[in-house]
Amino acid sequence: MSLNAALLENAVMWRRQLHQAPELGYQEQQTSDLVAAVLTQAGLQVFRGLAGTGVIGTLHNGSGPVIGLRADMDALPITEKGGVAWKSTRPGVMHACGHDGHTAILLAAACALAATRNFSGTVHFLFQPAEENLGGARRMVDEGLFSRFPMDAIYAMHNWPGLPLGTLAVNPGAMMASLDAFEITLNGRSCHAAMPESGADPMVAAAELVLALQTIPARRLSPLASAVVSVTQIHGGEAINVIPEQITLRGTVRCLQPEVRKRVRELIEEFVTALPRPFGVSGEIHWYPGYPVTANHAAPAQQVREVAERLFGEQQVNWACNPSMASEDFACMLEACPGAYFWLGADGAVPSAPLHNANYDFNDDLLPVGISFWQQLVESVLPSRTPHR
């Protein structure tokens, strides 16, 4: 699909402008101002304020189904190391996940569809804040996204380093894992480090517990189940000659099946309760539920596949791809509305730096690919009732 050259130039300009001025979750005021201004100029109805800085642009074109397309807007608390001319001007904040590119793609797609209108129905363009660990998608749902803007289906994309430019990956089931965080507190009895028998050492219990938790995926679940348990922080103690009173462990759990997620939580709680006891230590756990499994619905996923095969070629589409154990809060929208989430390959001649890396930069060659895909998806899911000439 050929794109208007001026529109593509604007997409590059918007992307780099956003990259230079990144904003963290729920702070995307400048970003949402840009989004709202572009959508208004393109003739869309614009709604602001959902989840604070969220923006929704609505494009009506006759009767027909209603779908949503979503882009995330927030940046990460990372200091950029790259040397591009459009490098972040805000110390400690950068677009290290490509949300600047996602936003520019969806903005340009909205402009293109508003100009051509080769579809029948309604498209809601959702610009979501706070995808990175802050649950912006869940907040939009909780604040009435789908009651205020009912949709038959919703779609989202993510650029994907490791896949070549011009390829797409999607499947009819899980794409990304669930995310839950935990904090374990081990309470012992402090004493002199030279006389450990007079106390109860939570440090030893912590060491045993870290190792024991790793047996959950390996020995307590079926090999066909997918789960990752990672302890990422250990805090405790103030002096080298004192056994501490308390140790705190923090970490995350990732799963690809809801029933596995439930079972892993039960097993961790069993370990935390029972394992410290022989050491004279008590354990308790506090959970911080994150995102559910990002699970595609079969029919919308098939629609993505068919459009991709027409646009890129069948060999360029990775259908029934292996899911990622990373997480994505678009899962909260998929729990409330049928839809599909997919990856667009980001690697050009030079492979992209990984996501969430200080040297990452969105590949601008992906902009026309993403814009064309959104336009073709809309025109496929909402076919025009007037024959094209």
In this predicted structure, the answer to whether residue 3 has a pLDDT above a threshold of 90 is: no
pLDDT at 186: 98
pLDDT at res. 234: 97
Q: How far apart are CA 251 and CA 181, in angstroms?
A: 6
Q: Which tens digits make up the pLDDT trace of 149-202?
A: 999 999 999 999 999 999 999 999 999 999 999 999 999 999 999 999 999 999
What is the chain's mean pLDDT, rounded?
96
- Give the 3-state DSSP-derived string for 139-164, with helices as H, strands as E and coil as C: HHHHCCHHHHCCCCEEEEEEEEEEEE
Distance CA 307, CA 380 (A): 7
What are phi and psi for residue 30, nearest 5 degrees?
Answer: -65, -40
Q: What percent of the chain has pLDDT over 70?
A: 98
Distance in angstroms (rounded) separating the CA atoms of residues 344 and 353:
15
pLDDT band at 389 (very low <50, low <70, confident <90, very high): very low
Token output for 58: 């609505």
pTM beyond 0.85, yes or no: yes
Q: What is the pLDDT of residues 107-123, one digit of tens each?
A: 999 999 999 999 999 99
pLDDT of residue 384: 87
Residues in the chain: 389
State the pLDDT at residue 387: 47
Mean pLDDT of 1-22: 93
- Whether residue 381 has pLDDT greater than 80: yes
Q: What is the mean pLDDT of residues 354-382?
A: 97
End-to-end CA separation in angstroms for the chain: 16
Query: For residue 141, what pLDDT is reported?
Result: 98
Overall average pLDDT of the 241-256 stretch: 97
Residue type, 231: V
As a whole number of angstroms, the distance between CA 109 and CA 57 comes to 12
At 189 the three-state DSSP class reads: strand
